[in-house]
Amino acid sequence: MTTTDMPRKVDARPARPVRKKRSGGSATGGLRRAIAPTTLLWVLAALYGVPVLWFVLSSLKPAGDLFSLPLTVFPENPTVSGYKEAWASANFSEYFINTTIVCVIATILTVGVSCCTGYALAKYDNKWLKAFFLCILATTMLPAEVMLAPLFLVVRDLGFYNSLSGIILPALLTATGCFMFRQFFLTVPDELIEAARIDGAKELSIFLRIMVPLSRPIMLTLAILSFQWRWNDYIWPLLMLNDPEKFTVQIGIQSLVGAQNINWSVLLGGSVISMVPLIVVFLVFQKYVMNADINAGLKD
């Protein structure tokens, strides 16, 4: 037995380093291997980037040049008149302020409520907590779009019709947020809580003083996601808001599209303006979004 095993092992050992050396490759071999995937990557990236690029470049063209043939890629006389016109004409600044209010308040409250719930679900053990966890799961099955009419009646009867709180409040119930915090707090060792309890800390102060600061990365991730969801919301604000003074950006833009004759210059300008906040937020907090553990049933 041992005699037959021995030569095999000896044979196998030199074989591996040889392979590895080959796969490590010389510089030219690595380059050759990089050509196909890199080309594919950048062809795909171009397919995804060109529409946005074309859109943004078009928005910098003066209204008269938008349809002039032959089409030019780069605006010959770049101008921000479309932006100015959009900002001034369609109450855009008002829409912007409304949307910002909705996003900021909704995001703060969503993070707060989800953090509390996620912590309770992760660190306490009760029958009714388990039952509530199932309730939260159920909300992922029945999205708000499916309950448009009854949800509308409920929010109207609560007296929130045509107000920004009517947009904010129903949005705070997010299963994703609770799951994200629950998953995070499950990884926090129980000993930390036990030690604080032995030191005589009250339950809620353990939560506020130890757990909330610990969960800062999750807070930030959920905050970015929540900000994006609320910024991009369309159908619910459309139902809730009647008064043009309370419109959000998305409704404002959609009302430009719905017009009889689309003023593309204004529409392009307004659209690009509305993209800016999210792209800035994303570029600043990129690493959090990219590393987010969003496997826990992400939805809005």
Site for another protein in 252-281 (CB under 8 A): 253-254, 257-258, 264, 267-268, 271, 274-275, 278-279
> Token digits for 201?
């800390």
Report the alpha-carbon distance of residue 225 to residue 233 in Å, rounded. Answer: 12
Site for another protein in 72-101 (CB under 8 A): none
Q: Pick from 80, 101, 104, 292 the residue near another protein by CB under 8 A.
A: 292
Report the alpha-carbon distance of residue 171 to residue 156 in Å, rounded. Answer: 15
Nearest to 77 by CA among 94, 92, 91, 63: 63
147 binds another protein (CB under 8 A): yes
Cβ atoms 151, 170 nearer than 8 A: yes
125 binds another protein (CB under 8 A): yes
- Indicate the residue among 107 and 114 with the shorter CB distance to another protein: 114
- Indicate the residue among 59 and 246 with the shorter CB distance to another protein: 59
Q: Pick from 63, 66, 104, 220 the residue near another protein by CB under 8 A.
A: 66
44 binds another protein (CB under 8 A): yes
Cβ atoms 68, 48 nearer than 8 A: no
Report the alpha-carbon distance of residue 215 to residue 123 in Å, rounded. Answer: 14
The nearest distance, CB 215 to another protein, in angstroms, is 13
Q: What is the DSSP letter of 246?
A: G
- Indicate the residue among 1 and 73 with the shorter CB distance to another protein: 73
| Stretch of residues binding another protein (CB under 8 A), selected from 75-83, 88-96, 122-130, 214-222 | 122-130
234 binds another protein (CB under 8 A): yes
Place of tokens 């969503």: 110
Cβ atoms 121, 186 nearer than 8 A: no
The nearest distance, CB 3 to another protein, in angstroms, is 25
Place of tokens 């605006």: 75
48 binds another protein (CB under 8 A): yes
Cβ atoms 227, 107 nearer than 8 A: yes
Cβ atoms 132, 291 nearer than 8 A: no
Counting every residue written for the chain, the total comes to 300
The nearest distance, CB 4 to another protein, in angstroms, is 22
Site string for another protein, 165-204 (x = CB under 8 A): ----xx-xx----x-----------x---x--------xx
